[in-house]
Amino acid sequence: MPWDANRGSLPRGLPRAIREPALFGKTSNERLGQKPALVYLRTMTLRKIAPLGQPVLLRRAVPLLDPTDAPTRALIQDMVETLADARGLGLAAPQVYAGVRLILAHLPDPDGVVDRTAAPLVLVNPTLTPLDDATDMAFEGCLSIPGLRGIVRRFERIGLEALDGAGRPVEREAEGLFARILQHEVDHLDGILYTHRLEDPRHLAFDGEVQALTAYLRAEEPESGSERSDDRCCTQ
C-alpha cells in the first residue's frame, strides 16, 4: 500500500497515549516521581517519503563509508519503520531524502509470498550482476509514485553483492520477485524510477485498473500476451 501523506507520524495501531503523549499529560510513573516507562521513551521515526518530482529521486546516491556509524544506524532503523508503515516490499535511502547507497528489501518465500512483518534485508552499497539474459515483465509500484503501477522488464536471475547493516559481506543469488525488488531498489540509487523503464508508455495504470489493462493488452497482442499476463504488483 502506498504511503499515505495524511497519516500521522506514528502507526495507527499504537495506543493513542503512545502516539500522542502530549494529549495525555504526565504518565502515571511521572506523577509518582518515577522515571517514565521505557515505552514512553522509545522514539519511532517515520521519515517522509520523497514523491515523484523530488530531485533526490533523480540523483545518483554516494557509497556509504561506514554502515555502522550512528547516523547510518539511525537511518536504517527509521527506514525499517517507514517501510513497515508503508507496507512496501523495499525502500531505498533516496526515497527518504538520504542520498546514500542503502536499500531495504523483503525476501519473498519460494512461492513469492512476502511476510511484511518480518525484518527486511539491509543492503549497503549493493551491486547487481545479471546471471543470464532471461527477463520477465510484471507490474511494479513505487512508494514514491502512489496509486500507479507499470509493466517493467527485469532480469529473472541476478547475483547480489553488498554489505549488511553490520558491515559484513553479503553475496547471494536472487531470482523472480526478489530479483525484481532488488533491481527496482538499486535503480533508485542510480536515480532511475520504474517509469523510466516502461517499454511502452501505455503500460501504466492506476492500481484499480491493472486487470483491465492486462486484459486489453492480452487481447490486443495475444502473441506477447503471455509475457504481459502477470498482473502481480509490488510496491517499493
Q: Which residues are catalytic?
A: 185
Q: Cell 554516494 appears where?
A: 62
Decide whether 183 or 236 has the Cβ nearer to Zn ion.
Answer: 236
Phi, psi for residue 73 in degrees, rounded to 5: -60, -40
Shortest reach from residue 32's CB to Zn ion, in Å: 47
Q: Indicate the residue among 97 and 216 with the shorter CB distance to Zn ion.
A: 97
Q: Compute the distance between CA of residue 6 and CA of residue 199 in angstroms, rounded to an integer.
A: 33
Q: Which residues bind Zn ion (CB under 5 A)?
A: 142, 236
Give min distance, CB of 188 to Zn ion, in A.
6
106-43-24-87 Cα dihedral, nearest 10 degrees = -10
Question: How many Å apart are CA 97 and CA 143, to the nearest integer?
Answer: 13
Read off the C-alpha cell for 71: 547516523
> Minimal CA–CA distance to 77: which of 56, 59, 99, 102?
102
Residues 6+ apart with CB under 8 A from 214: 228, 229, 231
Residue with Cβ nearer Zn ion (5 or 23): 5
CB of 17 to Zn ion, least distance (A): 34
Q: Tell the smallest beta-carbon distance from residue 142 to Zn ion (Å).
A: 3
129 Rama sector, left if φ>0, alpha if ψ -120 to 50, beta otherwise? beta
In angstroms, give the least distance from the CB of 144 to Zn ion.
5
SS3 assignment, position 191: coil
The smaller minimum CB distance to Zn ion, of residues 15 and 140, is found at 140
Which residue, judged by CB position, is nearest to Zn ion in the bound state?
A: 142
Count of C-beta atoms within a 10 Å radius of residue 45: 13
Contact (CB, 8 A) for 138 and 130: no
- Rounded Cα gap, residues 110 and 175, in angstroms: 10
Residue closer to Zn ion (CB basis): 214 or 236:
236
